[in-house]
Amino acid sequence: MTVDRGTRPTRRAVPSTRTPGEQLATAVPGEVGDTARPVPAATVARLAVYLRVLTTLLGEGRGVVSSEELAAAAGVNSAKLRKDLSHIGSSGVRGVGYDVSRLTAEVEATLGLTRPHAVALVGVGNLGHALAGYGGFAQRGFPVAALFDVDPALVGTEIDGVEVEHAAEIPRVCAERGVTIGVVATPAAAAQEVCDHLVAAGVRSILNFAPTVLAVPAGVEVRKVDLAVEMQVLSFHVARRHGSVPAAGHAPATPGTTATTPREAVTR
């Protein structure tokens, strides 16, 4: 997952349907974005992983967890874990560890999970339909409050009790239902217009599955999920394990030919 950056300074601001007071009210002390206690973006991503592990431990009835065990379950070293948790003012007891219930509450507060976030999903094709039907979002405080599409065959249908509405209704519906997070699962050609509608409705956090970079005004955060890019990264690691990744500065050999080293090229 990546963050779209670099296009914000040149894009005009999109008018919001929320008042300045409503926008400021979203900056709850202790949540991500609170300027009083900035938390590095990389730490925020790891906090989400720690929370997943902590939630599992709570479900198992665990009361205490050591930094080493929590770090191993999250795939980091214990020093990084302790540094991350220091950003939210949490520290364990030497020789004992962290109180699981208390640490879970602290991480949830930092991530702004003390209240649910209404989610609007635009584009209910194959991927969008799967996302809309995933029950894990609601369980973690992200209930899908609105679904949108432009396909007449989909508009008016229901997915898990939520009616699919026409994309033209995005500004009105999102404002009425207090949507705080938008999910874009449309084709690339439609993604920017959809993004503009979400921003106009006051949505300031967008998860983008469309294979394109979205331009947004300052104050809007975009997270991009490109499954094809992730597959290409995995392809690189597969090729490297099999020794088929060319060394830096060397082009791969053309099929049917033999690669030539720099020394061979000089001496021939």
Is 86 domain-assigned? yes
Please tell me the predicted confidence (pLDDT) of residue 2. 52
Q: What is the pLDDT at residue 107?
A: 93
Q: Do 98 and 14 sit in the same domain of this protein? A: no
CATH of the domain at 130: 3.40.50.720
Residues of the chain falling short of pLDDT 50: 3, 5-6, 8-36, 261-268
In angstroms, rounded to a whole number, what is the distance separating the alpha carbons of residues 217 and 199? 9
Residues 93 and 220 in one domain: no
- The pLDDT of residue 39 is 86
In a domain, 261, yes or no: no
Q: Does 142 map to a domain?
A: yes
- pLDDT the model gives residue 76: 94
Q: Are 40 and 248 within 8 A, CB to CB?
A: no
What does the pLDDT read at residue 190? 96
Residue 252 covered by a domain: no
- For residue 136, the enclosing domain spans 7-23+114-228
Indicate whether 198 and 106 sit together in one domain: no
13 and 142 fall within a common domain: yes
Considering the domain architecture, whether residues 184 and 104 belong to the same structural domain is answered as no
